[in-house]
Amino acid sequence: MNEDHTDAPPPTVMVVDDHPIWRDGVARDLAEAGLTVVATADGVAAARRRAAATRPAVVLMDMHLPDGNGADATAAVLEASPGSTVLVLSALSHRTVENHVQATLRKLQLANRVELARYAIERGLD
């Protein structure tokens, strides 16, 4: 996973999203791809608590949460875990997201969304 091919462990990841099927699916897919998922959260308060407890290297953040928004959650996470990098994932509509994801996958020559998330995480930590 690391570009320099060292034996460094993969970055730790927390997934924040209010939709349990999406949140759990992304967490599962990232874990199956070799990333270390240390937490999931369904809102701002849970994200703050779990970031403080786990100090994830990367947080995949949805912008629409039941107890605030992604900007609030990002601020809370970075206050609790200043070393974290936040990658915002959000959607205006499923079709819009699917079109953007497919275009990005083609442009980057990646096979699927997990590879896209790994690509973003790896580049974000450099």
Locate tokens 């959607």: which residue?
91
Exposed, middle or buried, 45 (CB in 10 Å: 0-12/13-18/19+)?
middle
Reported as a pLDDT band with limits 50, 70 and 90, residue 1 is: very low
- For residue 53, being part of any structural domain is answered with yes
7: in domain: no
* Residue 4 domain-assigned (yes or no): no
Which CATH number characterizes residue 82's domain? 3.40.50.2300
Within-domain flag for 113 = yes
In-domain check, residue 68: yes
Q: How confident is the model over 90-107, as pLDDT tens digits?
A: 655 556 666 666 666 666
3-state SS assignment for residue 38: strand
pLDDT bucket at 78, cuts 50 / 70 / 90? very high
What's the domain range around 16?
Answer: 12-124
Residue 60 pairs with which residues in a beta bridge? Answer: 15, 87
Separation CA 126–CA 111 (nearest Å): 22
Total domain count, the chain = 1
Is 82 inside any structural domain? yes
pLDDT in tens, 34-60: 999 999 999 999 999 999 999 999 999
pTM: 0.69
Pairing of the two strands 68-69 and 64-65: antiparallel
